[in-house]
Amino acid sequence: MTIEFAWPWLFAALPLPLLALLLPRAAASTPASLRFPFYQALQGNLQAIDRGPRKRWHLLLASLAWLLLVTAAARPQLIGESVHMPVSGRSLLLAVDISGSMQNEDMVIDGRRVSRLTAVKVVAGEFIEKRKGDRIGLILFGDDAYLQAPLTFDRRTVRILLDEAQIGLAGKQTAIGDAIGLAIKRLRKEPAKNRVLILLTDGANTAGNVDPLKAADLAAREDVRIYTIGIGSGEMQVQTPFGLRRVAAGDLDEVSLRAIAEKTGGRYFRARDASELANIYALLDEIEPLSEDEQTWRPVDELYAWPLAAALLLSVLMALASVFAGLFAPVRRKHPRPQPARTTEARHA
């Protein structure tokens, strides 16, 4: 670690106090009409203090305070050791369906049945944690699509926002086209050929203003690759008066999801349980591999507060020393002149 100055040219201000010696003295002020002996005595004591060794000490401390002020103005910084961070340059948006059908409990994790959204949170959360070096963003969609997290390297925050997603928060229906359109808008300014959207849904497009296939055509023109994942077992067990019965769960439009992926150069995946979903994300890691390139940066800590605080402390101590020295210094009192004794002849005269 090293210490550097952001604005070293400010040290040119160090000789400025010497200019005070070259400036003409101010004209003597008009004496006050009222005089107070106490203040005159205090002024005399302060002048006495300023003479001799004490004056030299005051000058030395004042010079040190000025040096500290200039040092603080030059912004000293502590430059840390180099930190290497892998960077792929890939911008990856994750669009997650939170419509009403995502509450169907037809997924199994650790031997217990959970909702589709819960399985997505667990598996997709682990996928987000692994994407070190990618900029990750999160879109949640139901009746409408919302950007929950913009593209960022802060994977931990993105995962927290995914974990906080609730079913029905964006409505009960599914706006797949709007989610794709929002992703295109957010990825448009990113470098070409590194724009990736992973869209996860368990239904068909039932809401929104944008047709999914037209949105896919626009994504292809914008070089956005879309990987679509259809989630859900397709059937679930329901308790009826006649016992457990398997019924169809959801209305997954696999034809449209496959067409969206093919139009943009991506792929369509089917996840009927949590293990298949985990395998899909592992396959995505292979299709969109992490880059081995590294970006180097050095942490910087600002240190200007330390010399600034020291200069302020010195100034306060000098002021207090002058005041207390003036108050407790002995005051010279003028004794009356002795009157000559009058002789007897003078008294009788």
* Structure confidence at residue 238 (pLDDT): 47
Q: From the CB of residue 114, how many other CB atoms can be counted at a distance below 10 Å?
A: 17
Average pLDDT over residues 210-238: 84
* Structure confidence at residue 349 (pLDDT): 47
Average pLDDT over residues 177-203: 89
pLDDT over 90 at 221, yes or no: yes
Higher-pLDDT residue of 88, 316: 316
Q: How far apart are CA 250 and CA 236, in angstroms?
A: 9
Structure tokens, 151:
């593209």
- Residues 153-165 pLDDT 10s: 889 999 999 999 9
| Domain range annotation of the chain | 1-13+38-81+298-332, 85-294
Of 179, 251, 272, whose CA–CA distance to 218 is shortest?
Answer: 179
In percent, how much of the chain has pLDDT > 70? 73
Average pLDDT over residues 55-61: 78
Q: How far apart are CA 95 and CA 183, in angstroms?
A: 8
- Residues 256-293 pLDDT 10s: 999 999 999 999 988 887 787 888 888 887 777 655 44
pLDDT band with cut points at 50, 70 and 90 for residue 45: very low
* Structure confidence at residue 42 (pLDDT): 42
Extended beta strands in the chain, E state: 2-5, 76-79, 83-86, 91-97, 107-109, 112-114, 135-141, 145-152, 195-201, 224-231, 235-240, 243-248, 268-271, 294-297, 300-302
* Structure confidence at residue 337 (pLDDT): 56
pTM: 0.58
pLDDT over 70 at 84, yes or no: no
Annotate 38-54 with DSSP letters as a single string.
HHHHHHHHHHHHTSTHH
Of 328, 114, 97, 110, whose CA–CA distance to 231 is shortest?
Answer: 97
Average pLDDT over residues 37-42: 46
Higher-pLDDT residue of 53, 151: 151
Q: From the CB of residue 290, how many other CB atoms can be counted at a distance below 10 Å?
A: 15
Q: Taking the domain 85-294, which CATH number applies? A: 3.40.50.410
- Residues 128-175 pLDDT 10s: 888 877 889 999 999 999 999 999 988 999 999 999 998 888 888 899
Average pLDDT over residues 14-38: 64
pLDDT over 60 at 240, yes or no: no
Residue 175 burial by CB count (10 A; 0-12/13-18/19+): exposed, middle or buried? buried
Higher-pLDDT residue of 53, 150: 150
pLDDT over 80 at 113, yes or no: yes
* Structure confidence at residue 33 (pLDDT): 52
* Structure confidence at residue 258 (pLDDT): 93
Describe the chain by its helix, strand, coil percentages, rounded to 5: 45, 20, 35
Q: How far apart are CA 212 and CA 174, in angstroms?
A: 11
